[in-house]
A and B are shown apart, each in its own frame.
Chain A
Amino acid sequence: SSGLIQDPAVSVALGQTVRVTCRGDSLEGFYASWYQQKPGQAPTLVMYGRDKRPSGIPDRFSGSSSGDTASLTISGVQAEDEADYYCNSRDNSGNGHVFGTGTKVTVL
């Protein structure tokens, strides 16, 4: 199945807003989920079901989707938000998963 494409890197000033996008045909049929990964750590879930936040994730994180594109928006970016972000969905078979190529978010 085809993969999910993300911009490799994005920079954002402290306190500003950044949007991370993810594009792929599997997103036409399945919701995206989003994972944050800091250096040397395991990924953690930050968004699922298009716009749902797990317990403990700040409300500055939000999600949206349309067609074959899903987005993760961080409003009022904090220094601790600097990390790699990966999108994920089920693949077109519905049995496997596919991850996005990852976006490194740098906070200036």
Chain B
Amino acid sequence: EVQLLESGGGLVNPGGSLRLSCAASGFPFSSYAMKWVRQAPGQGLEWISGISGSGVSKFYTDSVRGRFTISRDNSNNTLYLEISSLRVEDTAVYYCAKESRDYGYLDYWGRGTPVTVSS
């Protein structure tokens, strides 16, 4: 059974940093690209970052490029998102998701970890 479990969220001051983790199990982790998607309170879903199975290729949406860093540890089946220079508008639930090999859809999602940026 595929499982994705995010952790690391919390309350942080503007300008602060956090490292989010996503522990994966139930599938050959290194064979699949992974994504981070966030959802601000009462808002829609926003794709923010993706990483290839090998970890070599990384992609970001414009609003987080230069502030967020995606990485993965394939030996420990864990995906990471380092988030820094946080802004109030980064407040959201952050989900990790597994990408399918074909069609590019997101077939499994974690339950999410909440990040609140506030002074």
Binding site for B on A (CB under 8 A): 30-31, 33, 35, 37, 41-45, 48-49, 52, 54, 86, 88-90, 95-102
Determine if B95 is an interface residue (Cβ-Cβ < 8 Å).
yes
CB <8 Å contact, B110 and A42: yes
13 extra interface residue pairs, beta carbon distance < 8 Å, beyond A45-B108, A48-B107, A49-B105: A30-B104, A35-B45, A35-B106, A41-B111, A49-B102, A49-B103, A86-B45, A95-B50, A96-B60, A97-B50, A97-B106, A99-B46, A99-B47
In the complex, number of A-B residue pairs with CB atoms less than 8 Å apart: 68
Q: Which residues of B contact A86 (CB under 8 A)?
A: 44-45
Size class of the contact patch on chain B? 20 to 34
**Given A48-B100, A95-B50, A102-B44, residue A42 in contact with residue B106 (CB < 8 A):** no
Q: How does the 8 Å CB contact mask read for B73-115 relative to A, with 1 for contact and 0 for none?
A: 0000000000000000000000100001011111111111000
Report the separation of the CA atoms of residues A44 and B47 in the bound assembly, to the nearest whole angstrom. Answer: 15
- Which B residues lie within 8 Å of A52 (CB)? 103
Instruction: Select one of A37, A41, A54, A96 contacting B107, CB under 8 A.
Output: A54
**B17: min CB distance to chain A, Å:** 23
Q: Is the CB of B102 within 8 A of A43?
A: no
User: Which among A31, A96, A98, A99 has the greatest number of chain B C-beta atoms within 10 A?
Assistant: A96
Contact in complex: A97, B35 (CB < 8 Å): yes
